Amino acid sequence: MGCEPGANAFIEKYFADCVYNLRDYIGFCLGISAILFWLVAQIPQYVRNYKTKSAEALSPWFLASWLLGDTTNLLGCLLQGQQLPTTTYTAMYFVMADVFMMMQYIYYVRDLAYTVGTALGYCSSVLYLCSRLSQIYKNYSRQSSEGLALAMFMMAVCANSCTGTGIILRTFTKTELLEQLPWILGTLGTISLDMVILWQSLKYASKANLAWQAAAGGDGDGSSSEERRQLLNAQHHQHQVTVHLHHQQPALPREGHAPLVGGASSRSHSRAMAIPAAADRHITSGDGISFFSSSAPAMPGWGGALSHRPDAGRRHAVAAAADHVDGAEEVAPLLQAS
């Protein structure tokens, strides 16, 4: 909310305060002076602690109470919203100064610094271990690790292995080992859990791909489920074509003649005839379909069903399979190739 007409424009714009008369000016100047005094009030104590490398002269309860009081003062100013801006700014600075003084005290009081540092080290180890446990449970509940970048966990294993091994190599006494124990647990302890995550990834990936890998010959090309289904259907149709063609072959061909695997449909079954065997041959296509073919010229009376091409028998046999087996689209490429 803006000030009423007659307020000082400069103070209103930069300090969000409304100053109209001499009394308001005096109050505003005192507030600014308080901020300036507090800006430099604790600097002498900072300098003394730095020079003596000690803060034992300060009471920790004095510092803690001071920090707590300044924190509640700042929260009150912010929540009420009716205090002067200079009062709120001063409370903010108080909190920052108290935090710096407390950190200086902890740093120079070595026993306390050692205790706090060790406690923080153990806390970090627990957090690292819990992070892996939550991920392991997530993978188990989903029965999948899809979406995880396994390279991240592999690099984490390598990094923690190097860090933990380096710490152990530089530890020579029991006391040093106890001092470094939080960081050893935080590095080497997470390696075993990272290995569990990697094992889960391999297990679930193998379980998901087992069926289609067996059908596709175990190539593991990562095809989609729709592509796998089409592959299985195509293999089934090719098997039916092979069975049908073998059933159409005569059991005992006459000497000097080649059996004709013919009959594009049941209409041609009654017109079976033998043709001279100029060059009989057994053909197996690239798809695994076997049949007999002859290079003999076409015989009269067949209406051009067989041409002079050497592989006319092959085309005729495939056409017969297409009439008897569903899925003629699987054998169409054989007709085109011939």
pLDDT for residue 283 is more than 50? no
pLDDT for residue 63 is more than 70? yes
pLDDT for residue 280 is more than 70? no
- Sign of dihedral through CA atoms 329, 334, 337, 338? negative
12-22 mean pLDDT: 82
> Over the chain, what is the mean pLDDT?
72
**Any bridge partners for residue 257, and if so which?**
276
Q: What is the pLDDT of residue 281?
A: 46
- All structural domains of the chain, each given as residue ranges with its CATH number in brackets, are 9-108 (1.20.1280.290), 112-214 (1.20.1280.290), 225-337 (no CATH)
What 8-state DSSP symbol labels residue 302? S
Check residue 6 and give left, alpha or beta (phi > 0: left; psi -120 to 50: alpha).
Answer: left
pLDDT for residue 290 is more than 80? no
pTM greater than 0.75 (yes/no): no
**How far is Cα 291 from Cα 261, in angstroms, rounded to an integer?**
8
Tens-place pLDDT, residues 119-148 = 888 888 888 888 888 899 998 998 888 888
What are the structure tokens assigned to 157, written together?
């294993």
